Amino acid sequence: MAKYLIIVESPTKVKTIKKFLGSNYDVAASNGHVRDMPKSQLGFDVENNYDPKYITIRGKGDILAALRKSVKKSDKVYLATDPDREGEAISWHLSKALKLEEKDIHRITFNEITKTAVKESLKHPRAIDMDLVDAQQARRVLDRMVGYSISPLLWDKVKRGLSAGRVQSVALRIIADREAEIDAFIPQEYWSLEGIFQLEGSKKPLLAKYYGNPEKADIRSKEEIDKIMAELKGARYKVSSIKKSERNKKPPLPFTTSTLQQEASKQLNFATRKTMQIAQQLYEGVQVKGHGTIGLITYLRTDSTR
């Protein structure tokens, strides 16, 4: 009987996926990344096309040794890391670390951990998407390029322990530019005028805002508003026209990573870390009475509303 090995990222997925498949399938976890650039060096060759240099992450040697044993006992290996840029890179690193030949690489992805999704993914294995892998490698190289270059300057000039990165450095520049715009802004005085009218036959009062006569007018001082108030005193008012329109209100889009975090913070006062921990548990699977362990949400680290 053929023996198949499925490698996932998280150990908590192992039990859930094993339950969906028969005894011919073994499921193991890589516990995230297994290789990375060395921390003590820049980690890539600037003179040679920025090629990264990879080493086994400290503490992952035993995991890789166990995976190599499982690979040797298996007729087919499925790389089932997460369906995103990082997951694709982890599959690529696993294929290199486990010395899998190109013909032996079977990459599968699923956006939800359910029996249907997992079994369907096994029917459609593919090669590793090197475009996604290259995107992840470019991000890591940029992280190092910016962080390792600017962070020492921060330690020297501002405070030791601060870090600069490809995201926060740009974000800080945007904030600084915006602050400069705010400082350069010259405030202007303006006034607004509203009236509350009681309509015949209606219990609800009508709120009306001053527009101008006949064209829209901006009120720039107390003198101007006092003059308008004097002109309106004792005046009779009438409705000259009514405009009716329809608006379509669309239902909210499914959550992306950022909108999930924003709503959890706004509605439940959750920290970002807590939100992601709970979402990860819901994705990987929880005990549901009558169904066992099952994933309840689709993949959470995404900017897609699919």
Active-site residues: which are they?
299
SS3 string, 139-198, reads HHHHHHHHHHHHHHHHHHHCCCCCCCCCCHHHHHHHHHHHHHHHHHCCCCCCECCEEEEC
92, 63 contact by CB (below 8 A): no
Return the amino acid letter for 129: D
Question: What are 126's strand-pairing partners?
Answer: 107
